Amino acid sequence: MVNAADCAFDDGAIVLTWLAHGHRETVALLRLFRGQVIVKLCDLPRLLQRYTHSLLTQVSQSAVCNQFHAVDARLARWLLMTHDRMDEDEFQLTQEFLSNMLGIRREGVSRAAGDLQRLKLIRYSRGRLKVLNRAGLEAVACSCYGVIKDEIVA
Ligand SMILES: [Zn+2]
């Protein structure tokens, strides 16, 4: 185990990074030495602690959200969280998957997605979803989106 300061870029090494708290952090360096791969971990306990805290916040906030917030707001939150993790505005999401993620029946997903489409915030057809108006989705989403995002970015 080494400190993060020891994991500066080293010529010839493969640098593994992850995006956390709004910036890239070096996780490990990989180097070939005499036919073997040498792995140098970088402050892994601290990174895992931050990841675990962020994941627990997301899980607990989602549980509260599913209990107390309206389906349209929950769907908007979930779509924003998905959009944050995508490189594009359009992605594949089935009603069955969304119903599992939101803890509601598929009919509820269909109704909530229809509401967001009528507001011209998304386009959703045959499992393809496109975010048309992200600011509008943020306005519809419940406050849980901000709580979870702040925890990840902070
Ligand atoms: Zn919520």
**Cα(150) to centroid of ligand 1, in Å?**
14
Query: Rounded to whole angstroms, how far apart are CA atoms 118 and 41?
Result: 50
Cα 27 to Cα 1, 61, 130, 138, 149, distances in angstroms: 11, 27, 33, 32, 22
Mean pLDDT of the chain: 84
- For residue 124, the model assigns a pLDDT of 94
Q: What is the pLDDT of residue 119?
A: 97
Cβ contacts of residue 9 below 8 Å, gap of 6+?
Answer: 15, 26
Report yes or no: 112 and 73 within 8 Å, Cβ to Cβ: no
Q: pLDDT truncated to tens, each residue of the chain (154 aa)?
A: 444 445 554 556 777 776 665 666 777 777 777 777 777 777 777 777 878 888 899 899 989 998 999 999 999 999 999 999 888 999 999 999 999 989 999 999 999 999 999 999 999 998 899 999 999 999 999 999 999 888 876 5
Distance from Cα 128 to the centre of ligand 1, integer Å: 24
Are 136 and 121 spatial neighbours (Cβ–Cβ below 8 Å)? Answer: yes
Its pTM stands at 0.72
Q: Give 2 Cα–ligand 1 centroid separation in angstroms.
A: 39
Of all helices (H) and strands (E), which one includes residue 60? helix 44-68
10 Cα to the center of ligand 1, angstroms: 44
Distance 45 CA to ligand 1 centre (A): 30
Q: How far is the CA of 30 from the centre of ligand 1 (A)?
A: 41
Residue 96 tokens, joined: 């069955």
Domain ranges of the chain: 4-49, 69-153
CA 104 to ligand 1 centroid distance, Å: 14
What b/e sequence results for 38-64 when a residue is b if at least 16 CB atoms lie within 10 Å of its CB, and e otherwise?
Answer: eebebbeeebeebeeebeeebeebbee
- Which CATH class for the 69-153 domain? mainly alpha
- Cα(49) to centroid(ligand 1), Å: 25
Ligand 1 centroid to residue 72 C-alpha, Å: 10
